Structure 1
Amino acid sequence: MTNVYSFEGILVFSLLVVCTCAYMRRVPRLKQWFLSEKKGFLGVFYKASVIGTRLHIPVALSCLLMGFYILVLR
């Protein structure tokens, strides 16, 4: 179990948010409902979805590396 207050926990949490928002951007009903705001608190999720879709290869590689680190090296 990763601790949210550690640097590893923050990295895992941010990767999960980016991957989840990028997935939600591909689902039309969720995109209209959840990712319509571009400012404020919900704007963070919109920006995470943009990062996830534009940088999908580095995000996927970092998810694989983080998973390998947590499962094998830690």
Structure 2
Amino acid sequence: MKKLSLLLLAAVFSLSIYSCRETTEEKTEDAIEDAADDMDDMEHDVEAAADNVGNEVKEEIDGTDGVNGDDDL
């Protein structure tokens, strides 16, 4: 009876650990969400850099960059 109880306890413990672990599907979904967040951040950074470069070029063309002969880029 003692062996049967220990066997049953071990089986229940194994199943509870197995059912609580994160599945591959959940890990993949988390990785995709993280990658999407990173892409949004990069898109924002690229847009800000493009705006900055555009403003610098406009200042150079207009001659309003405040520095004569030096390149602000």
Shorter-normalised TM-score: what interval?
A: 0.3 to 0.5
RCO comparison, higher one (Cα < 8 Å, 6+): 1
Structure of greater Rg: 2
Give the TM-score taking structure 1 as reference length: 0.37
Give the TM-score taking structure 2 as reference length: 0.37
